[in-house]
Amino acid sequence: MTRNTPIPLLIGLIAILSAGCKSSDANGVPGSQGPGVTLRLLSGSENKTLQPLLDRFGRENNATIKTEYLGSVDIMLKLGDAQLDYDAVWPANRLWIALGDKQKRTKEEQSILWSPVVFGVKKSVAQGLGWVGKPVKVDDILTAAESGRLRFMMTSATQSNSGASAYLGFLYAFAGNPDVLSDADLAKPDVRAKIKRILGAVNRSSGSSGWLKDLFLQRYDSYDAMVNYESVIIEANQELVKRGEEPLYVVYPSDGLAIADSPLAYIDQGDSQKADIFRKLQAFLLSPEGQRGIQAQGRRVGPVGEQIQNPDTSVFNPDWGIDVSKFLNQIRYPRAEVIRSSLELYQSTFRKPSMTVYCLDFSGSMQQGTREEDLKSAMRLVLDQAAAKKSFLQASPSDVTMVIAFSDQILATWTVKGNDPAQLSALWQKINQFEPNGGTDIYSPVMKAVDAMKQTPNLENYFPAVILLTDGESNTGPSLEEMKSHIRTARIGADVPVFGILFGEASENQLNGIAKATSGRVFDPKGDLAKAFREVKGYN
């Protein structure tokens, strides 16, 4: 700017530079805003706590970082789309890039941070098991879980990176720690037997690492441990200390430790300005200043195993079992083809089976617009095994799938045991032939679903869940309190979460009331009902 710049021009430049200081990403999280280049970033949801760093970079570099946060599988699916409307991707682990980017459109990939996937165990439980200050093998964890001395949570390996990483670590340990996992290892009978045993010992599943932490804090007295990122265990412990409760002790499996490497990669759309901003963003996040900001959030920076200088012990607390001084011996991730085979085996063969009851609203209001069509299409994507396989949601031979169609009364009930594609397709045909009519009673189908669970032998051997979709407010039948009383009376001895899908004019208060009473969750489709069904199914 020269001393002779005309005043009107100067005022105009100030107005341009001042416009739009803030923006929101696709999920309503404040994003970095500037009047210059917009970089569309597809990021893993675990990076939300790092949003202030992106905000700062945007302000200082006259750029907008427009961030959309998604889960691991959705990132993988997006990378496989023919039209990829993003300029950069930042998942929790490079395995999701390897699985999704078959067209090799990503480049300049660099890991930004590291977070080991660990067991966070209540310290008194860890002491009782003799794990404090001692190396712990995956076999030790299996023995403790099968003996009933360790009730633990873990995310789904086919929906969440923390679950996938832990699962691959288990496979490496049971295969005898090969240099790299192979298809031959996956075929070994003893590996298959042990992986089924440890996955069968998981007491509660989830499709999200963050929600798993929230559920653990909510149901603190019901569980002893959770598998999650070291950084998430730190966040949980900070909350537990505030509540005056016993924190978790971090256990690093000595023979099956996986580490999330959080790679940031560029997607070349032929725009040199965006390429320049991407490189500046990557350089900022890897700079000493950016790395300090990341480390303050409980993430490790620098090469894996590098000692953290002067660690903040309120974050990396050694009393919580966190050791930042020793080298972390991590597994080596196998080829993409082996990872895909591993995940498909998890979903179809190894995981603990699911008992899922879909309560589907067929009241008269479902005739509005495309609601009926959207519901039937979404259910087809879940029940059609070829379609479900693309999202790693296919059924296993031991799964139980039940559908309750309702309006102001129970209209029909159908059940399929196992994963026969023809039977599941026939189930969808029955749904497809149904026509909406009548009022809305959302509590009776939930009660009927719980009754079905009660009649299921050995329910503890399943991940049970009720998925409730409604487009309206319950205006007849029992109340929430009557439903809660019915569930208490059933005494089925297992967590049966009810996951509500908010659709049309559904009452968010009513669905939240059901979710809170059953340790479930409410999902908002945001115009994509099929995606909501995929996401909620990933929770059991």
pLDDT of residue 326: 77
Considering the domain architecture, whether residues 66 and 127 belong to the same structural domain is answered as no
Distance between CA atoms of residues 206 and 445, nearest Å: 23
Residue 122 has which token pair? 């209540």
Quick check: is 2 in a domain?
Answer: no
Quick check: is 307 in a domain?
Answer: no
Q: For strand 400-406 and strand 410-417, is the pairing parallel, antiparallel, or unpaired? A: antiparallel
Quick check: is 347 in a domain?
Answer: no
Taking a C-beta distance cutoff of 8 angstroms, is the pair 417, 402 a contact? no
Quick check: is 6 in a domain?
Answer: no
Considering the domain architecture, whether residues 504 and 367 belong to the same structural domain is answered as yes
CATH number of residue 515's parent domain: 3.40.50.410
Considering the domain architecture, whether residues 269 and 125 belong to the same structural domain is answered as no
User: Which is nearest to 28 in space by CA: 515, 468, 524?
Assistant: 524
**Which helix (H) or strand (E) is 22 found in, with range?**
strand 22-24
Quickly list H helices, 455-528. Answer: 480-490, 508-517
Considering the domain architecture, whether residues 136 and 173 belong to the same structural domain is answered as yes
What is the number of structural domains in the chain?
Answer: 3
Considering the domain architecture, whether residues 153 and 194 belong to the same structural domain is answered as yes
Considering the domain architecture, whether residues 247 and 136 belong to the same structural domain is answered as yes
Distance between CA atoms of residues 446 and 466, nearest Å: 7
Q: How far apart are the first and last CA of the chain?
A: 60
CATH number of residue 57's parent domain: 3.40.190.10
pTM for this structure? 0.89
Quick check: is 312 in a domain?
Answer: no
Quick check: is 493 in a domain?
Answer: yes
Distance between CA atoms of residues 92 and 210, nearest Å: 13
CB atoms within 10 A of CB 38: 20
- Helix/strand/coil percentages in the chain, nearest 5: 45, 20, 35
Last residue of a domain, one of 342, 377, 407: 342
Considering the domain architecture, whether residues 41 and 156 belong to the same structural domain is answered as no
Quick check: is 386 in a domain?
Answer: yes
Per-residue pLDDT of the chain (540 residues; tens, 9 = 90+): 443 444 343 333 333 333 333 333 444 344 444 458 999 999 998 899 899 999 999 999 999 999 999 888 889 999 999 889 999 999 999 999 999 999 999 999 999 999 999 999 999 999 999 999 999 999 999 999 999 999 999 999 999 999 999 999 999 999 999 999 999 999 999 999 999 999 999 999 999 999 999 999 999 999 999 999 999 999 999 999 999 999 999 999 999 999 999 999 999 999 999 999 999 999 999 999 999 999 998 999 877 656 677 889 989 999 999 988 877 888 999 999 999 999 999 999 999 999 999 999 999 999 999 999 999 999 999 999 999 998 899 999 999 999 999 999 999 999 999 999 999 999 999 999 999 999 999 999 999 999 999 999 899 999 999 999 999 999 999 999 999 999 988 887 667 999 999 999 999 999 999 999 999 999 999 888 888 888 888 888
Considering the domain architecture, whether residues 122 and 102 belong to the same structural domain is answered as no
pLDDT of residue 35: 55
pLDDT of residue 470: 95
Distance between CA atoms of residues 137 and 423, nearest Å: 42
pLDDT of residue 82: 87
Considering the domain architecture, whether residues 453 and 323 belong to the same structural domain is answered as no
Taking a C-beta distance cutoff of 8 angstroms, is the pair 459, 494 a contact? yes
Considering the domain architecture, whether residues 219 and 323 belong to the same structural domain is answered as yes
Taking a C-beta distance cutoff of 8 angstroms, is the pair 264, 88 a contact? yes
Considering the domain architecture, whether residues 287 and 336 belong to the same structural domain is answered as no
Q: Give the structural domain span for 429.
A: 353-537
Burial class (CB in 10 A: 0-12, 13-18, 19+), 281: buried
Q: For strand 225-229 and strand 115-122, is the pairing parallel, antiparallel, or unpaired? A: antiparallel
Considering the domain architecture, whether residues 410 and 268 belong to the same structural domain is answered as no
Quick check: is 390 in a domain?
Answer: yes
